[in-house]
Structure 1
């Protein structure tokens, strides 16, 4: 890899990690915690690639891209951000960023993107819009479209690419994943947002309702919820509507069609519940929304966001205690975002204090159903026993069980939740990540944050420990300080 990389991030640790990695790869690096300094370097003609954070002390990295493109049209910009929302992805795409990566990012992935950016030929046809068209007030939709998980970031990138395309969109996914919210985002975040939006459901799909929707959404968006649930006559009316919009005299003002459906629309066609000619008219672009079990890293951020939104809706202010958060994170959550939202609202109402306790979280998760009851906390168990080099925890009212047995049971439950389908690719690394993070955190706590003692306890050298703490983005505290 060859070239000069300009880094702007207010996190010194991230600047250090990226500087070291890029320097080892053969690049020259200039790093700063200021967008003003970044702009100065760009204006001086320095750099072959920019890597910038979004939220900086002196501005917004995405907002700075138009000025960079005005001075250096061919200078690629990679955006990294902890603001893992659909709006961030869309704004980065509209600003013509070379790539957008959420924090905590995968370092090898970022290095690959940097190499691609440095190796690409200048694009003479690149045109930078004068302004970013996504309004800031759209950053908090009705149901939070946030997510760091790869499946959600893939979804965000897809939405960003087709947001303003003149094509119908079919949004597929399980019940409760937020399909209607995403359908609304295609209207509220697009250049049609100042025009009308209408929603058609199976409960109201009469000829009058279809005509009313077409009139209300002129130049805007019509959302069709679960067309497979419409009766044959209603599906025929939808086909006639789409044909009229595509070929009518006012087709320049025709609304965009966005439909939501179950996880297997082609199965609905095969079963006869969805007309094939209607399906092909709706599926100009198909967007698949992942279930919550395929994005477990997003459960805690979603829960925190939902609790904060509950306050705006008039419910008591609540936060998750550390033990409650750990319990939620480790739980094989059987539902989707809607179920998580219902559980957070219930906890906001029933929690006895501002901080939700582990006992309250355990009760809420057990009420949620779908998995075995969550056992009592460790304080109610006997001490850990070591048996032939393997760890076993012996509950008071049950026989001893090896750690490997517990892991196997958890994995089997995870596979069972996917039914006849396989889990998303990358399972090996995800499982190692799940085990490695708590192991390091518990070991650090046990050694008071002393990395030398922690490395000795784990049987690894100190440099390896430092590297893992950085890779896993383990929070740096006074008791857990990177030396």
Structure 2
């Protein structure tokens, strides 16, 4: 068969073992599966091969001389940081193999191993290698998409914010992003990551408000096999997934004191302990946290740990609400319309009248509300030009403007009939539901929690926030 008719290789693997028979047998099996297989009898030979060949996976024996498998692992990852490594070990060396995984090995396999077991572990390792290669290709796209250009706006407020993002990105300081819902706090966090020395490493976001209390700890810190019902295998948490990069913790004030204590430990010690494990794993993660609440008030009301607040609040980035930068409305609207036009066969354009209509609005839902308005108008408007009537705005949220259209100055805002934001409406609905359930069940908080389908801890936390007490409880402080 000539080279042109050969099937493509499924991946390039280096087998390292100082026992010739074991090395040759393993290589033969892998070649029969369609892999390109290279062989090395010593660690030195392996390093030479790694420096010049496109190896994706290395299988190495643990007990070798003069260079053992652990030493080879460390040096190999210096030569090829994205290399996947599987350690081949005798039964009595499993503890050392686990140590190797802590130091960067992907997996280990115990000799003598079955052919099927080797195939499975090799396939998993190469899948991870391909995933990392894909992530590397997408890194440039991430940096281009989420750099400072993503922070649309030329107002003084946005210029100041962009300048602070650039300065803070150069350090490893923990960042606290504050701003109302819909202002773009995650975009700011992504911009910090994209301009940092960690930009080639993972950016991992987690929204604490979107994950149940019982799952949040496991989601962030990982868990050991059997740590709780359903934990059928050990799992790394998002903190470990973000190792070397940035972990974005959104809505951090929605967490419990117990969780806050564990997050504080991670910040202080630079380590994470999986649920159900007694040992910790070192991590190098930059934390960017965000909240739409008054976090200082949360601290004063004892709902958020003061020591964690000081750890998070090393550098604060405040994202201004859209009503404070109305001169950015035109640029933002055109940015969102350009994106909508890219998905539509009938592109639209903004009329000057529509711009004036939008810049006279206070945007209680901030940039997210403007984005939704533009996308809705682009999808539903019949003409090519978007007019004021294509943008239905909530009543009693107009501002008076002076000067040319596009450069408004807020002079008055009718707040007597202000429409509530989505976050405010959700909070009020939660408060009413809890109050009504308390009225029905009195002191039986267990039945209240069951009816509302929340944990007792979540119920207690929300009752404290809304200053609610069980019916019949002593109302004295």
TM range (shorter): 0.3 to 0.5
TM-score (normalizing by structure 1):
0.46
TM-score (normalizing by structure 2):
0.47
Bigger Cα Rg:
2
